[in-house]
């Protein structure tokens, strides 16, 4: 990895703390940031390919909501074995979408990814067999999360899947603190300093609002899905599979 793609955003002491934003600086180092900050990220991305192979339906749409640099959408493309599918990847960060649009196009791929710079709350979802929200619902205003889930459910085909990955919190405050400590140890083992860990935590405080697994599951079931189960968990990060 060259030095400019290594995440050093919080390496220096920040005099005027500000909320975290998905700007050009973040987009430039994003793959390194995710790899060193989300336990199990490569496993989740890998399994999106497997789940796509299993559940994508002919002539349907696949959505990557909060796509960042399109890792989940690329995984969907690799997993597609059905015909005539469309992949739509949406993010409201222009810096992320600009980098997606600059990616080389794989001529042999079964379809092209349509990248859209749009708020996922305004994105039209129709005829979907696979919808992925990989670590994005946590950034949506809590008061609008039900509306988001209802919209996803309404835009999906029967037997379609919704994959929701999130940073979560635990009901028991002591367990919650313990898991956060373990998570910070994971980040330090990946080369982040104590200053980087604490400055990033403060920057995300008002921006990334985690909920419990139960809150997520209840919301998904309330939206109408027939099941919602955790298929991956490591510390305070999990991924859930919901079936319509
Ligand atoms: C991955 N899924 O690599 N509308 C659209 N995009 C949004 C919104 C919104 N309202 N709010 C936040 N985002 C990716 C990783 S990152 C996760 C997803 C993280 C976008 C935001 O711009 C960012 O690109 C993404 O959601 C969250 O699998 O950084 O922890």
139 lines ligand 1 (CB under 6 A): yes
Q: Is the CB of 136 under 6 A from ligand 1?
A: yes
* Ligand 1 atom, smallest distance to 33 CA: 29
- Strand 128-134 and strand 61-65: the pairing is parallel
Residue spans per domain, the chain: 41-169+209-243
Residue 6's contacts (CB-CB under 8 Å, 6 or more residues apart) are 29, 32
Sign of the Cα pseudo-torsion (47, 61, 70, 75, in order):
positive
Q: Ligand 1: does its nearest atom lie under 6 Å from the Cβ of 71?
A: yes
- Phi (first) and psi of residue 195, to 5 degrees: -65, -45
CATH number for 41-169+209-243 (one of 3.40.50.150, 3.40.50.620, 3.30.70.20, 3.10.20.740): it is: 3.40.50.150
Residues 6 or more apart in contact with residue 116 via CB below 8 angstroms: 88, 89, 90, 91, 97, 123
Q: Name beta bridge partners: 128.
A: 61, 156
Integer Cα distance of 14 and 52 in angstroms: 42
Q: Tell me the β-bridge partners of 70.
A: none
> Is residue 74 lining ligand 1, measured as CB closer than 6 Å?
no
**Residue in 19, 39, 66, 144 to alter for ligand 1 test, most ligand atoms within 8 A of Cβ:** 66
pLDDT score for 1: 64
pTM exceeds 0.75 for this model:
yes
96: Cβ below 6 Å to ligand 1?
yes
| Distance from C-alpha of 87 to C-alpha of 64, rounded to nearest angstrom | 8
Instruction: Note the helical H segments in the chain.
Output: 24-37, 41-55, 71-79, 94-101, 145-154, 173-189, 194-204, 213-223
The response to whether residue 134 sits with its C-beta less than 6 Å from ligand 1 reads yes
Q: Determine if ligand 1 sits within 6 Å of the CB of residue 164.
A: no
pLDDT computed for residue 111 by the predictor:
87
77 alpha-carbon distance from chain centroid: 17
Helix (H) / strand (E) element for 237: namely strand 237-243
Ligand 1 within 6 A of 67 CB? yes
pLDDT for res 14: 83
Query: Measuring from atom 23 of ligand 1, which residue has the nearest CA?
Result: 68
In this structure, the residue with its CA closest to atom 26 of ligand 1 is: 66
Per-residue pLDDT of the chain (244 residues; tens, 9 = 90+): 678 899 898 888 888 888 888 899 989 998 999 999 999 999 999 999 999 999 999 999 999 999 999 999 999 999 999 999 999 999 999 999 999 999 888 888 888 899 999 999 999 999 999 999 999 999 999 999 999 999 999 999 999 999 999 999 999 999 999 999 999 999 999 998 898 888 899 988 999 999 999 999 999 999 999 999 999 999 999 999 999 9
Query: How much is the CA Rg of the chain, to the nearest whole Å?
Result: 18
Contacts of 78 (CB under 8 A, 6+ apart): 49, 52
Indicate if ligand 1 lies below 6 Å from the C-beta of 119: yes
91 CA to middle of ligand 1, Å?
6
Between the CA of 140 and the centroid of ligand 1 the distance, in Å, is: 9
What was the pLDDT predicted at 104?
Answer: 84
């Amino acid at each position: 990895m060259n030095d400019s793609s290594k995440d050093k955003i919080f390496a220096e002491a920040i005099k005027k703390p500000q909320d975290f934003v998905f700007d050009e600086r973040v987009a430039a180092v994003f793959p390194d940031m995710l790899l060193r900050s989300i336990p199990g990220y490569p496993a989740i991305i890998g399994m999106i390919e497997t789940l796509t192979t299993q559940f994508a339906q002919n002539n349907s749409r696949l959505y990557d909501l909060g796509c960042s640099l399109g890792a989940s959408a690329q995984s969907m493309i690799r997993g597609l074995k059905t015909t005539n599918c469309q992949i739509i990847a949406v993010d409201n960060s222009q810096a992320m979408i600009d980098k997606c649009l600059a990616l080389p196009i794989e001529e042999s791929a079964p379809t092209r990814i349509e990248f859209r710079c749009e708020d996922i709350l305004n994105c039209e979802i129709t005829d979907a067999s696979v919808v992925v929200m990989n670590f994005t619902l946590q950034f949506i205003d809590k008061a609008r999360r039900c509306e988001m889930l209802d919209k996803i459910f309404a835009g999906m085909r029967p037997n379609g899947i919704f994959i929701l990955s999130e940073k979560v919190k635990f009901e028991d405050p002591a367990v919650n603190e313990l898991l956060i400590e373990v998570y910070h140890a994971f980040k330090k083992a990946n080369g982040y300093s104590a200053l980087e860990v604490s400055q990033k935590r403060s920057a995300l405080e008002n921006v990334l609002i985690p909920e419990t697994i139960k809150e997520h599951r209840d919301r998904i079931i309330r939206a109408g899905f027939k099941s919602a189960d955790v298929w991956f968990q490591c510390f305070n990060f999990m991924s859930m599979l919901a079936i319509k």
